[in-house]
């Protein structure tokens, strides 16, 4: 009977502790026609973009060029001053116009390997590089010198608290499982042993999930990500500069369209995802490279979700192999968007969906590096969430 009471106590305590740790976390006539918004001057894209840009300085760093001074340290690249003991993830994004894209690809790959990094993925219009954090600034500035800079951005995610919380969650689960094993050895009651084994099984699944989250965060901390889009100089007439809506023109599968989120969001995409809860936008990522972003922009010119779904399809479909309309419900809210698949031999998937909220648009972006992956389970998990 004493063992039975200990089993119940351990099960209830482990569930409570693990739950608490997991929670601390206009139309132009003759050009296009997809609805009648109310015209107003279009807002500039929220991310930091500079044409003919010089290498970024410490003051340029961060997702928002107007970030307050107290945030400067968290946005500083690894080679500059930062508080000891902080765990940060650095992301860079560069758009280049080059003479020969294949030559530039080889140069980027050699540069990455020389610094001890690796090419995470390579597509027709993107290369995703993983660079040891200590070489992030050096490589970023070297890439800027390779061609005409269309845009550049550095963003920083501070995951110190989340990493500590996740580590404590793992330690708690491991200790609780060890105690259950000890109780199992002493128990002689078949029903009680079955109950203990079920709880051990549940904890083992929890432990593997948390280990995956920690491993992903450790890898992202150690190896910074730089996304480079390469545009051949001779095809500039066909680029996205003709798109009348800046935020659509500058959509990037690996970076959120905006640096702000004007909503309260509660989304759990699944146990294999790490959610970066302290960021100004919703960010989640798993070990396979699937990422979720949720951010907000001004609804300018004014249009409803259906208008912007049609705008996405009209202006971006030619850049992708396929573009299928999607509807994603998050709680009582319905996002309308497009599910794109790239033209690459090994394609990626990119979903962009919009929720109109008066003067604000909430933008959901989902990127999967695997063109054949079934995203249905992920979407079902997202639909259980809330946005207010």
The residue among 137 and 12 whose pLDDT is bigger is: 137
Q: Give the pair of three-digit tokens for residue 71.
A: 């945030």
Q: How confident is the model at residue 12 (pLDDT cuts 50, 70, 90)?
A: low
**Structural domains of the chain ordered from first start:** 2-24+161-215 (1.20.58), 239-388 (3.40.1000.10)
Q: Rounded to whole angstroms, how far apart are CA atoms 52 and 79? A: 24
Residue tagged 């962009």 (tokens):
352
**Coil, strand, or helix at residue 292?**
strand
- Residue 301 has a pLDDT of 94
CB atoms within 10 A of CB 164: 12
- Residue 165 has a pLDDT of 92
Q: Give the pair of three-digit tokens for residue 47.
A: 């991310």
Closest residue by Cα to residue 255 from 48, 82, 104? 48
Q: How confident is the model at residue 64 (pLDDT cuts 50, 70, 90)?
A: very low
Per-position DSSP letters for 345-385, written without gaps between them: SS--EEEEEEEEETTEEEEEEEEES-TT---HHHHHHHTT-
- Residue 156 has a pLDDT of 86
The residue among 186 and 44 whose pLDDT is bigger is: 186
Q: Rounded to whole angstroms, how far apart are CA atoms 6 and 33? A: 68
Closest residue by Cα to residue 123 from 283, 349, 374? 349
Answer for the pair 388, 264: CB distance below 8 angstroms, yes or no.
Answer: yes
pLDDT digits (tens, 9 = 90+) for 126-174: 899 999 999 999 999 999 999 999 888 888 888 898 899 999 999 999 9
The residue among 24 and 337 whose pLDDT is bigger is: 337
pTM of the complete model: 0.68
CB atoms within 10 A of CB 377: 11
Q: How confident is the model at residue 277 (pLDDT cuts 50, 70, 90)?
A: low
Per-position DSSP letters for 88-123, written without gaps between them: EEEEEEEEEEES-HHHHHHHHHHHHHHTT-EEEEE-
* Residue 25: pLDDT over 70: no
- Residue 14 has a pLDDT of 55
- Residue 211 has a pLDDT of 93
Q: Rounded to whole angstroms, how far apart are CA atoms 10 and 12? A: 6
């Amino acid at each position: 009977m004493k063992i039975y009471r200990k089993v119940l106590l351990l099960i209830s305590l482990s569930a409570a502790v693990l739950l608490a740790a997991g929670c601390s976390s206009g139309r132009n006539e003759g050009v296009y026609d997809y609805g009648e918004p109310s015209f107003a001057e279009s807002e500039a894209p929220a991310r930091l973009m500079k044409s003919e840009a010089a290498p970024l300085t410490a003051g340029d760093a961060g997702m928002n060029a107007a970030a307050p001074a107290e945030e400067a340290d968290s946005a500083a690249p690894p080679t500059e001053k930062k508080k000891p003991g902080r765990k940060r993830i650095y992301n860079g994004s560069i758009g280049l116009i080059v003479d020969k894209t294949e030559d530039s690809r080889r140069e980027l790959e050699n540069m990455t390997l020389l610094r001890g990094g690796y090419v995470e993925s390579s597509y027709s219009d993107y290369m995703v590089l993983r660079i040891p954090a200590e070489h992030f600034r050096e490589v970023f500035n070297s890439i800027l010198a390779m061609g005409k800079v269309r845009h550049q951005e550095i963003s920083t995610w501070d995951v110190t608290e989340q990493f500590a919380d996740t580590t404590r969650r793992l330690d708690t689960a491991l200790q609780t499982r060890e105690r259950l094993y000890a109780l199992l050895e002493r128990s002689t009651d078949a029903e009680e042993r079955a109950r203990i084994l079920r709880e051990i099984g549940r904890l083992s699944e929890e432990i593997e999930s948390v280990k995956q989250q920690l491993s992903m965060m450790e890898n992202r901390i150690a190896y910074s990500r730089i996304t480079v889009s390469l545009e051949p100089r001779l095809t500039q007439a066909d680029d996205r500069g003709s798109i009348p809506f800046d935020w659509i023109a500058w959509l990037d599968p690996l970076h959120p369209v905006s640096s702000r989120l004007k909503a309260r969001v509660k989304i759990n995409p699944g146990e294999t995802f790490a959610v970066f809860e302290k960021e100004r936008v919703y960010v989640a990522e798993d070990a396979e490279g699937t990422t979720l972003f949720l951010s907000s922009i001004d609804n300018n010119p004014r249009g409803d979700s259906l208008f912007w779904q049609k705008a996405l399809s009209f202006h971006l479909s030619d850049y992708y192999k396929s573009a299928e309309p999607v509807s994603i419900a998050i709680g009582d809210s319905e996002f309308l968007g497009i599910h794109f698949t790239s033209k690459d031999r090994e394609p990626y998937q990119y979903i962009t969906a919009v929720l109109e909220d008066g003067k604000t648009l909430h933008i959901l972006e989902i990127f999967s590096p695997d063109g054949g992956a079934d995203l249905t389970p992920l979407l079902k998990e997202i639909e259980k969430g809330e946005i207010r």
